[in-house]
Chains A and B, each alone.
Chain A
Amino acid sequence: MSGLEMIKGRVFKLGDNVDTDLIIPGRYLNDPDPEVMAAHCLEDAIENLPGRIQKGDILAAGKNFGCGSSREHAPVAIAAVGFSCVVAKDYARIFYRSSFNLGLPILEAPELADEVREGDVLSVSLDSGKIRNETTGKDYGFRPFPAFMRELLEAGGLIPYTLGKGGKGGRV
């Protein structure tokens, strides 16, 4: 099994039930260019995000992150604007599977999601399942990826995975 990367970045923090309309509003869905999505990502929630984010920063939120529409534009926008991963209590279903299908790591860490503050710096080891809040010095675990999700991440997403294997029904 090949290793997954280490991530380090500053936190932008949001609350519960962040929906996909908030992540990328419907008014921008007429243009599927990831750069357009990045320019408007979370614009009604975080002022001037594209001007403030540094590549690799981390988005933290509460429960049911990514609820609402099936638009994959939402995880695409999060990655395109520069976030390296999302850390939340849990995720809405379509957002969850789309993120793994894309190869965007999303982590379930309820305790950290409660305690982390805007601007804290986190180090994430995707391989060992650990997150360190470098600002406070506290260590956290995150819920391990199910084996299939890990395979998807390691393959770089669902399409490379499918091209590599080819599904023929049955259990995976």
Chain B
Amino acid sequence: MGMTVSEKILAAHAGLDCVEPGELISARLDLVLANDITGPVSIREMRQYGFQEVFDPERIALIQDHFAPPKDIPSAALYTAMRDFAREKGIVHYYEAGQCGIEHCFLPESGLVSPGDLIIGGDSHTCTYGALGAFAAGVGNKDLTVGMATGEAWFRIPETMLFLLTGKPGNPWVSGKDYILAVIGRIGVDGAQYKAMEFAGEAVADLSMDGRMTMCNMAIEAGAKTGLIAPDDKTLSYIRDRAKRPWKAYYSDPDAHYERVVEMNVEDMRPLVAFPHLPSNIRDVGEARHISVDQVVIGSCTNGRIEDLRTAAGILKGRRVHPYVRAVVLPGSQPIYIQAVREGLVEIFAEAGCAVSTPTCGPCLGGYMGILDKGERCVSTTNRNFIGRMGHPESEVYLSNPAVAAASAVAGHIADPDEVVG
């Protein structure tokens, strides 16, 4: 029996020739990631349980992004804990705000993620790295602590679901965000519970690396352990000048077993909006146009990459944000921010009336930089629209792609980009 990409990566890292879904393994990790919410907890646990050293100071990334730069005194204490630990243990990939950005934007572009890697991160959107052909999964603090100390983690080999996205979209505004919202809408928020989601097909191959990262990023929103895309020429050219370590690409065997194959044709797809309070609650943007908005957020580990900013700027150029809308733009990382400055995108956003911020997760998780009051509605390019996710429990978040978000900022209600640009 052949194996899927996921099974091959997990087997290789456990020193096994083959594995089957359901088996439990202990596997060697290529990278362990922690952020400002999860890192300080695991740092405390390492000290508490007497783990003296990290397994490899070059294979741990400590990123400040959720509340960075520190929004208040308790957050500042999280950062001093990270800085002290990084100094003490010689952590190579420790980054202050201004030198990194949102972890899942920054690590791939920095060459810290490569095809075939096995990665755990103290953040659920660690699955983003599947876009590079890595097996990457979010974990809680105990896994993170043990991973940082030993370089190993336990895994249950997941069943793999294959999503074949065929065709080319007729609508120019349809993006990777719409593909993944459509997938989640089809299978539900627990449709891939404990599973690996493998994305393939012409529509996926046609996506840029940015678009692929958007898709894999939201695999967790279907309950998946990871989402991944086998490497192709685009992947290899993306990592060629970036990769910091030797790497190996894995591909699913022709006779690999998939628990389920879901085919979707994207030709007639239109931009989608996920209504409160689940990412699976999708509707065509045309069915959402009656909904007025108070805030728009463009950014996050889902849609804060340069392609996303270019799309949004293309719509906002020469236009004004609606007088009763607060529009917040958050480039995903410092390199993306610099690129956006060089391309004149930041000027376009600023002139349109957007609040442009240094990279941070901020509003996505209700941290800061755009928190919603009771009754406020937000169109956001982020990944979750749960109750209270962005602020008051009686506020509402509508998830969309960057084009719909930018058009909505101008219109003051959820808008089809064609309505604003046309």
Residue of chain A at shortest CB distance from B190: A64
Asked whether any CB of chain B lies closer than 8 Å to the CB of A68, the reply is: yes
Shortest beta-carbon distance, B402 to chain A, in Å?
A: 22
Asked whether any CB of chain A lies closer than 8 Å to the CB of B57, the reply is: no
Assembled-state Cα–Cα distance A162/B189 (Å): 32
Assembled-state Cα–Cα distance A116/B290 (Å): 40
Shortest beta-carbon distance, B362 to chain A, in Å?
A: 10
In the complex, identify which listed stretch (B135-143, B227-235, B322-330, B351-359) lies at the interface while the others stay far away.
Answer: B135-143
Asked whether any CB of chain B lies closer than 8 Å to the CB of A154, the reply is: no
Known: A21-B384, A67-B223, A94-B124. A169 touches B26 (CB 8 A): yes
Residue of chain B at shortest CB distance from A32: B41
B389 touches A31 (CB 8 A): no
Q: With a CB–CB cut-off of 8 A, which chain A residues contact B389?
A: 21, 26
Asked whether any CB of chain A lies closer than 8 Å to the CB of B345, the reply is: no
Assembled-state Cα–Cα distance A38/B46 (Å): 23
Pick the residue among A72, A75, A92, A171 that contacts B223 (CB under 8 A). Answer: A92
Pick the residue among B72, B126, B371 that contacts A30 (CB under 8 A). Answer: B72
Could you say which interface size class chain B belongs to? 35 or more
Q: With a CB–CB cut-off of 8 A, which chain A residues contact B142?
A: 72, 98, 101-102, 157-159
Interface positions of B from 6 to 36, Cβ below 8 Å from A: 13-16, 23-28
Assembled-state Cα–Cα distance A105/B44 (Å): 23
Considering residues A27, A44, A94, A169, which has the most beta carbons from chain B within 10 angstroms of its beta carbon? A94
Asked whether any CB of chain A lies closer than 8 Å to the CB of B45, the reply is: yes
Could you say which interface size class chain A belongs to? 35 or more
B14 touches A25 (CB 8 A): no
Pick the residue among B23, B140, B146, B190 that contacts A67 (CB under 8 A). Answer: B190
Q: With a CB–CB cut-off of 8 A, which chain A residues contact B78?
A: 30, 32
Residue of chain B at shortest CB distance from A17: B189
Assembled-state Cα–Cα distance A27/B225 (Å): 25
Flag A15-45 by CB within 8 Å of B: 1 or 0 each: 0010101100111011110000000000011
A170 touches B16 (CB 8 A): yes
Pick the residue among A29, A67, A97, A146 that contacts B189 (CB under 8 A). Answer: A67
Q: With a CB–CB cut-off of 8 A, which chain A residues contact B140?
A: 70-72, 75, 94-95, 97-98, 101-102
B26 touches A167 (CB 8 A): yes
Assembled-state Cα–Cα distance A61/B22 (Å): 25
A68 touches B143 (CB 8 A): no
Q: With a CB–CB cut-off of 8 A, which chain B residues contact A1?
A: none
Residue of chain A at shortest CB distance from B188: A64
Flag A97-132 by CB within 8 Å of B: 1 or 0 each: 110011000000000000000000000000000000
Residues of B within 8 A of A (CB): 13-16, 23-28, 37-38, 40-41, 44-45, 49, 66-67, 71-72, 74-75, 78, 121-124, 126, 138-143, 145-146, 149-150, 152, 154, 189-190, 193-194, 220, 223-225, 278, 365-367, 371, 384, 386-389, 391, 393
Residues of A within 8 A of B (CB): 17, 19, 21-22, 25-27, 29-32, 44-45, 63-64, 67-73, 75, 90, 92-98, 101-102, 146, 148, 157-159, 162-163, 166-172
